Amino acid sequence: MKASELRGKGSEELQSTLEELLKEQFNLRMQKGTGQLSRPSRMNAVRKEIARIKTVMNEQKAGSAS
């Protein structure tokens, strides 16, 4: 998901998406630990998506504070 798409979402939507991605990241880490991870590249993708969402959330917070 692109940052421009994320900027169009509300804070509740971003928070729920972030929670889903954090759960997925946890599941991927568990799969890696047990040797069942089928797509290792998904770990990097999820990590970057989490960073994008957090960045957009901080931008929105900074924009509403000023």
**65: confidence class by pLDDT, cuts 50, 70, 90:** confident
Closest CA to 46 of 64, 63, 9, 21: 21
How far does Cα 21 stand from its chain's mean position? Answer: 5
Region 16-26: what's the mean pLDDT? 97
Domain ranges of the chain: 3-65
Dist CA 50 CA 45 (whole Å)? 9
CATH number attached to the domain at 3-65:
1.10.287.310
Q: What is the pLDDT of residue 66?
A: 67
Q: What is the pLDDT of residue 22?
A: 98
**Helix/strand/coil for 1:** coil
